[in-house]
Chains A and B, each alone.
Chain A
Amino acid sequence: MPALKAAAELNSSCAGLVIHKKEAGDRVIALAGNPNVGKSTVFNALTGMRQHTGNWPGKTVANAQGYCARNGHGYVLVDIPGSYSLMARSTEEEVARDFICFGSPDAVVVVCDATCLERNLNLVLQVMEACARTVVCVNLLDEAKKKQIDIDLPLLSRRLGVPVIGTAARSGEGLEDVMNAVEQLLGEPSPEEKQVLVPYPGYVEQGLRALLPQAEKAADGKADARWFAARLLDGDESLRSSLADCLGFDPEQAPELSEALADVRAGMEEAGVSRTRLRDDMAGAFVRCAAEISRGIISMPANGSHRRDRRLDKLFTSRLTGFPIMLLLLLAVFWITISGANVPSALLADGLFWVEERLAAAAFSAGVPALLTDLLIHGVYKVMAWVISVMLPPMAIFFPLFTLLEDFGYLPRVAFNLDRCFKGCAACGKQALTMCMGFGCNAAGVTGCRIIDSPRERLIAIITNNFVPCNGRFPTIISIITMFLIGGATGLFGSFLGAVILVGVILFGVGMTLLVSRLLSRTILKGVPSSFTLELPPYRRPQIGKVIVRSIVDRTLKVLGRAVTAAAPAGVLIWALANVTVGDATLLAHLTGFLNPLGRALGMDGVILTGFLLGLPANEIVVPVIIMTYMAQGSLLELEGPALMQLFVQNGWTWTTAVSTILFSLMHWPCATTVLIIRKETQSLRWTAVSFLVPTVCGITVCFLFNTIVRLFI
């Protein structure tokens, strides 16, 4: 059973997070909560860090930590993945559970969504059972107010017996009070005996009492004894390995506890209590307690509080308008990107090349050797200038637009609309979310696959993530489309045509994702679709100013920095390859000559394939490598105007070269970073190899077929 094996091979992630304290006395605070309640926003505001935030469940898939200091105490804050309960069902929930239960945080702040507080209380109660010190932070009060939801926070605090702080994290409201409450709580002596807030049904309590003495011994102060006993009774499968890893607990080593557990279980069976009923009663205890506690605390308008959301959902997810709007949005984003990027790209190119001439002139008059000038200014600088002028404008437009959609809450609707297609391929609809993350960065997309519960479906999502072009490949594809495929159309029409073609490319990638997912589900990852639950969060008004600043500073500049740092050494490498002669030709000529037959068969040439090969560290440098190689092979080219296109045409590019290069860019091996992440996520060389080969084989096949067909007709 390959699927079962896959399950065994998947990384079950670890609570083994290394906490970076600045001083031994620093306190560790965990931020827990349901998915999409604003934990990361709270975390960012308190630590001054910039974890990715956005309005969809599952952005945080790994523990992140940050630091803040106040009143002479240092605090390490740990942002943990959102989870509905501590009875974990997915990898990211396991990460959350393991840290809360075994990471020994000094306190846990449970962040709740004020607009659906009752369900959030379920997790609050579970956390309170496991941890002695809990602070409840009722977030999104601003959203709740808009929906006329009112919450009696003081009463909630009295009923729970822990501090309850209301916040609106996006505007920073109340966050200071959260830390004050934490500080005060940690200043008090720990309670002698923890109050039992959630009572289980009588027969369960009786069983717990029988287990408690042994459980206390086994837990050894590393976990709450009552919680530990309850989980043992519950028989949570996923917990077993964590217990072994984190507490060093081995049932064999505690025969008395195992015996007591067997006794209690036998007693229950005799009384006619099935395992299912026991588990139901234990889970139900929390849900019912949450309902009881929230009674009289939450007041909502009688006619429903989410009417605006439902109207928007009618628009974005109905049978009639759901898909057309999805396509229009995609088209609009790309059209704005392409048309908006044209002019600044040209201006940047002009400016940067003007600087190049000045630099070269200055170097000449300063007596710098021509060789060095050639390498550094006409080589490395020129390539970086190209990277910047081609990549910066589209990214600076695309990222903010995409982030706006993300902030608004549109992405989960995409998953909702497309789930049926994924189900048809025996995959998970949340794969659509991981694909959206892939637009930003495939490595992030692969990590994001943790939101998929089923290990089999998660592997499918990991293997196919590369069919979504990441931001390293976008500018490549956009610039090739603009140069070769819009037939000289200019202005708004030209950019519209470009956007249509780009949407076509993306849809082709989505089609390949579905096709390959289906093939995988029928072959090496056989299985049936597993269960699927997806939360559709309330729409939120995006904070436009913040989004623009954040997406430019955090995403655009970061990606650009990566591109530039990868381009410079590649420039030197290319220069070296082009200047070291072995036999009758340079190393570069040997390499491109060797790859040329394969490149030609795929509608490209040896130089383009060399670009993709050397682009393994970062896709951003594929085009720069191609440019440098062409330039190193030819004589010095005086490039004016649409210089890039001239260079390509001089080297034999036609529209079929352009299409083949776009197809191969869409489908080839993942970049080195992504490969490493896949290795880490799957814990398997075999699945890493599969993830490397599947898109590569697809790209080679599609390019070969495309060119064979074209040759038949032309």
Chain B
Amino acid sequence: MKQTIPLTQIRPGRRATVSGLSAEGGLRRRLQDLGLVEGREVTCVELSPLGDPTAYEICGAVIALRREDSDTVLVLEEAADASA
């Protein structure tokens, strides 16, 4: 059984599937609007030069999230060779 981890722990180039959100209120709604709902695939694109925020590809768009916010997104990391 794979472990649920925060999105923050996904390294650039790796893909993961959203399993839940722990954010509350406005942030929760915003993340959902951006497409972060259960079952959605997310790819970590890259870190900004200072290490935070990090850019993720969600629903074909690239969205930058701060560590505090991506910590609230729970994901299952996919095996390295998994394909869409």
A residues contacting B by CB (< 8 A) are 84-85, 87, 89, 113, 115-119, 122, 276, 279-280, 283-284, 287-288, 300, 302, 305-306, 309-310, 313-314, 317-319, 322-323, 416-417, 419-421, 423, 429, 453, 529, 531-537
Residue of A nearest to B21 (CB): A280
B1 in the interface (beta carbon within 8 A): no
Contacting pair A85 B33 (CB below 8 A)? yes
**Cα of A419 to Cα of B54 in the assembled complex, Å:** 10
Contact for B64 among A85, A529, A536, CB less than 8 A:
A536
Question: B34-54: contact bitstring with A at CB < 8 Å (1 yes, 0 no)?
Answer: 110110100001111111110
**Smallest beta-carbon distance A294→chain B, Å:** 9
Q: Give 10 nearest A-B pairs by CB, closest first.
A: A116-B60, A322-B49, A420-B50, A119-B59, A84-B33, A85-B33, A116-B61, A531-B27, A536-B62, A534-B64
Query: Would you give 29 A-B contacts (Cβ < 8 Å), ordered by A?
Result: A84-B34, A89-B26, A115-B60, A116-B59, A118-B59, A122-B33, A122-B35, A279-B28, A280-B28, A280-B32, A283-B33, A284-B38, A287-B37, A287-B40, A300-B60, A302-B84, A306-B60, A314-B46, A322-B48, A323-B49, A417-B50, A420-B48, A421-B50, A429-B64, A529-B66, A532-B65, A534-B63, A536-B63, A537-B62
Contact (Cβ within 8 A) B35 A453: no
Q: State whether the Cβ of B81 lies closer than 8 Å to any Cβ in chain A.
A: no
Asked if residues B58 and A119 are in contact (CB atoms below 8 Å), the reply is yes
Q: Give Cα A665–Cα B37 distance, bound, in whole angstroms.
A: 49
Residues on A with beta carbons closer than 8 Å to the beta carbon of B5: none
A537 vs B63: C-alpha distance when bound (angstroms): 9
Question: Contact at B29–A317, with CB atoms within 8 Å?
Answer: no
* Contact of B32 with A284 in the complex, beta carbons under 8 Å: yes
Residues of A within 8 A of B62 (CB): 306, 309, 313, 535-537
Could you tell me if B60 and A317 are in contact, using CB atoms closer than 8 angstroms?
no
Cβ B45 vs Cβ A310 within 8 A: yes
Give B contacts to A, CB under 8 Å: 21, 23-24, 26-35, 37-38, 40, 45-53, 55, 57-66, 68-69, 84
Verify A284–B61 contact, CB threshold 8 A.
Answer: no
State the main secondary structure of chain B at its contact with A: mixed
A122 to B59, alpha carbons, bound, how many Å? Answer: 11
Give Cα A117–Cα B62 distance, bound, in whole angstroms: 13
Q: Are B53 and A318 in contact (CB under 8 A)?
A: no
- Smallest CB separation, B30 vs chain A (Å): 5
Cα distance A532–B62 in the bound complex, in angstroms: 14
* Nearest CB in chain A: distance from B19 CB, A: 13
Counting chain A CB atoms within 10 Å of each CB, which of B33, B47, B53, B58 scores highest? B33
CB <8 Å contact, A118 and B63: no
Question: Which B residues lie within 8 Å of A287 (CB)?
Answer: 32-33, 35, 37, 40
- Grouping DSSP codes into helix (H, G, I), strand (E, B) and loop, the A interface class, with mixed when no group exceeds half, is helix
A85 touches B29 (CB 8 A): yes
Q: When A84-B30, A280-B32 are in contact, do A313 and B55 touch as well, CB less than 8 Å?
A: yes
Contact between A419 and B33 (Cβ–Cβ < 8 Å)?
no
The interface residues of chain A lying within 8 Å CB-to-CB of B55 are 313, 317, 416, 536
Contact of A420 with B53 in the complex, beta carbons under 8 Å: yes
Task: Looking at the assembled complex, report how far the CB atom of B80 sits from the nearest CB atom of chain A, in whole angstroms.
Answer: 16
Question: A122 to chain B: which residues have CB within 8 Å?
Answer: 33, 35
Nearest chain A CB to B38's CB is how many angstroms away? 8
Which residue, of B30, B63, B84, has the highest number of chain A Cβ atoms within 10 A? B30
Contact of A419 among B23, B34, B63, B66 (CB under 8 A): B66
- Whether A532 contacts B66 in the complex (CB less than 8 A), given A119-B35, A322-B48, comes out as yes
B37 and A423 form a contact (CB under 8 A): no
Q: Can you name the residue of chain B whose Cβ is closest to the Cβ of A123? A: B33
Chain A residues closer than 8 Å to B52, beta-carbon distance: 419-420, 423
* Chain A minimum-CB-distance residue to B67: A423
Known contacts A89-B29, A532-B69; 16 additional CB pairs below 8 A are: A84-B30, A84-B33, A279-B29, A280-B32, A317-B55, A417-B48, A417-B50, A419-B52, A420-B50, A420-B53, A421-B50, A529-B68, A531-B26, A533-B30, A533-B63, A536-B64
Taking CB atoms, residues of chain A closer than 8 Å to B21 are 280
Distance of A423 Cα from B67 Cα, bound (Å) = 11
- Please pick, from B26, B32, B34, B51, the residue contacting A420 in the complex, using a CB distance under 8 A: B51
Expressed in whole angstroms, the minimum distance between the Cβ of B49 and any Cβ of chain A is 4
A419 and B59 contact, CB distance less than 8 A? no
CA distance A322 to B46 in the complex (A): 12
The reply to whether A313 and B46 contact each other, CB–CB distance below 8 Å, is yes
The complex places the Cα of A287 from the Cα of B27 at a distance, in Å, of 16
Q: B69 touching A531 by the CB < 8 A rule?
A: yes
CB pair A87 B29 closer than 8 Å? yes
* Residue from B30, B47, B49, B68 having most chain A Cβ neighbours under 10 A: B49
Nearest CB of A to B63, in Å? 5
Residues of chain B contacted by A302 (CB below 8 angstroms): 84
Q: Which A residues are in CB contact (< 8 Å) with B37? A: 283-284, 287-288
- Which residues of B sit under 8 angstroms from A416, Cβ to Cβ? 48, 53, 55, 64
What separation, in Å, do the CA atoms of A420 and B29 have in the docked complex? 23
Residues of A within 8 A of B40 (CB): 287
Q: Which of B27, B30, B31, B45 contacts A313 (CB 8 A)?
A: B45
Q: How far is the CA of A280 from the CA of B53 in the complex (A)?
A: 25
Nearest A residue to B58, CB-CB? A119
- Known contacts A419-B52, A419-B64: does B45 contact A533 (CB below 8 Å)? no
Q: Which residues of B contact A532 (CB under 8 A)?
A: 53, 64-66, 69
Which residues of chain B are near A276, meaning CB under 8 Å? 24, 28
Residue of A nearest to B57 (CB): A306
Inter-chain contacts of B59 with A (CB < 8 A): 116, 118-119
User: What is the bound-complex CA distance between A691 and B5, given in angstroms?
Assistant: 44
Whether A531 pairs with B33 at a CB distance below 8 angstroms is no
Measured between beta carbons, the chain B residues less than 8 angstroms from A535 are 61-64
Closest residue on chain B to residue A85 by CB atoms: B33
How many Å from the CB of A236 to the closest CB on chain B?
9
Minimum distance in angstroms from B78 CB to a CB of chain A: 15
CB B21 to nearest CB in A, in angstroms, measures 8
Which residues of B sit under 8 angstroms from A429, Cβ to Cβ?
53, 64
- CB-nearest residue of chain B to A294: B59
Q: How far is the CA of A420 from the CA of B15 in the complex (A)?
A: 24
Residue of B nearest to A322 (CB): B49
The one of A119, A322, A423 in contact with B61, judged by C-beta atoms closer than 8 angstroms, is A119
Chain A residues near B47: list those with CB within 8 A: 319
